[in-house]
A and B are shown apart, each in its own frame.
Chain A
Amino acid sequence: MIRTTISRDTVFSTRKFLLSRCYTSKVEIDSIIRVDHAGELGADRIYAGQMFILGNSDKGPLIQHMWDQEKHHRETFENLIRKHRVRPTALTPIWNVAGFVLGAGSALLGDKAAMACTVAVEDVIVEHYNDQLRTLMEDPDTNKELLETITKFRNEEQEHHDTGLDHGAEQAPFYRALSALIKFGCKAAISVSKVV
């Protein structure tokens, strides 16, 4: 009884027919998939930018490994977009360029700065995934697939974060300022992608 009334209140009337009778509404799931796809697209482009500069250095294979994982994440969310008929973010061209510039820019400051960039980005992403997992846990049965996907990806992002720290992220020039700036940028991008 309570469930039906809540979902009725939260939906837009035009999309009523699309909604299942679950606690986490279709609108919320849409938003989660949209922002995660945008994030993984950005991450993919960041590693592309880093590889463009550092591809031939000794950190090349390490970055390549992380990049391959991000590519897989991105593909998974692209499939989820098709499956759930979610509107993708309208800002893909911007995230495309911004991600690449961030990756290449940080790599130009040296491989330690590139690692610092990875650590900052992954830190925000892990936090963001944890927030989403909390939302999805309200109704674990209906969101099972999404829950498992996000949990797996969260763990992999955490690994990237730790790898970055192991490879001297904290010795990067202006580590604190750099990290704060990138974190702020990521958070802003996340809040924009949730809606647009």
Chain B
Amino acid sequence: MLLNRMCFILFKPSQHRLKRQFLPCLRARKFSSENLNNVNINKENEENYEENIQNKILEASLTYVQELGWSKAALSSGAEQVGYPGISHSMFPNGGGDLVHYFQKRSSKRLLQYLKELQQESSSRPIPPINFVEKALKARLEMTVPYVSKWPQAIAIMSLPQNVPNSLATLLTMVDDICYYAGDSSVDFNWYARRIAVAGVYKATELYLIQDTSTDFKNSWQFLNKRLSELEQLHMLLVKSDESSRITKDSIAAAFTTARNMIGLN
């Protein structure tokens, strides 16, 4: 009993002291972790906020492209239109490159929407894959048509070394989307062959488009149709050669068996 009492007297104040010393520390730590979370959330919001502004400016700048080209001038006019100072073009260190990239990304998104609609349509009334690809490529190229007078400049910008990774990535994503929705289910080398072929046709038609003077770009669509039918012929040829290679494989196997029979191995 006495011992207990002594302990109480001895330890109680010290516990108190401990608490007094540590509580602020604990509180501070709690506070700081909350702070950290807040900082993270703020950072996230800030990123979104900045991206939203950038997108708003880029979208507005597109209306000035026909007049000013894919340039910083178009970007500052766009910024002024949505209420920011013209100097805001410094948000885009890559200048025209960023504007072209935005346009490509936006077009890919719209194309994706179109592809989904087309796929639904084809589920009720099947569209042959080659026609599906033709429709998709035409829809995509039609998005470029309003900017066709300034498109050579865009092509030049896209082929600058610092812009190549971005433009290649958007091209390949687009081609992959088209092949996927057209119903390509290959899992071998054909996967690559088809995507490269579609990308080639797209780029070739794009080049044809920028120097096409026919009304409503009729010649370009004819060009697209011809290239794709050539592709189909090539594909048929490859399928046939695949068959013929199977025949050669079979005949080699037969020769091998005959040889083994002759030697007396079987």
Contacts and interface: CB of A to CB of B under 8 A. Distances in A.
Nearest to B168: A14
B192 A90 contact: yes
A3 to B, nearest CB: 12
Interface string B165-192: 0100110010010001000011111011
Interface stretch (A58-66, A81-89, A114-122): A81-89
Contacts of B214: none
B187 A82 contact: yes
A1 B40 contact: yes
Contact of B187 (A14, A37, A56): A37
Interface string A78-120: 1001100101101011000000000000000000000000000
Nearest to B256: A52
Given A1-B37, A1-B40, A85-B180, A14 B185 contact: no
B185 A56 contact: no
Contacts of A56: 266
A5 B189 contact: no
Given A14-B169, A14-B173, A56-B266, A90 B189 contact: yes
Contacts of A92: 187-189
B254 to A, nearest CB: 13
Interface residues of A, number: 15
A61 to B, nearest CB: 18
Contacts of A1: 37, 40
A132 B123 CA distance: 37
Given A14-B170, A14-B173, A88 B187 contact: yes
Contacts of A90: 189, 192
A81 B169 contact: no
Interface string A144-164: 000000000000000000000
Given A1-B40, A5-B40, A87-B191, A82 B185 contact: yes
Contacts of B189: 90, 92-93
B72 to A, nearest CB: 23
A88 B188 CA distance: 7
Contacts of B186: 88
Nearest to A8: B44
Nearest to A78: B187
Contacts, number: 28
Interface string B235-266: 00000000000000000010000000000001
A88 B186 CA distance: 9
B173 to A, nearest CB: 6
Contacts of B185: 82
Interface string A1-37: 1000100000000100000000000000000000001
A109 to B, nearest CB: 15
Nearest to A4: B44
Contacts of B169: 14
B183 to A, nearest CB: 10
A14 B266 CA distance: 59
A78 B188 CA distance: 9
B31 to A, nearest CB: 17
A88 B191 contact: yes
Q: Which of B173, B186, B188, B191 lies at the interface centre, i.e. has the most chain A CB atoms within 10 A of its CB?
A: B188
B261 to A, nearest CB: 12
Contacts of B188: 88, 92-93
Interface in B189-236: 189, 191-192
Nearest to B195: A87
A56 B189 CA distance: 32
A57 B178 CA distance: 49
14 contacts: A1-B40, A14-B169, A14-B170, A14-B173, A81-B187, A82-B185, A82-B187, A85-B176, A88-B186, A88-B187, A88-B191, A90-B189, A92-B189, A93-B189
The 3 closest A-B pairs by CB, nearest first: A92-B188, A14-B169, A78-B187
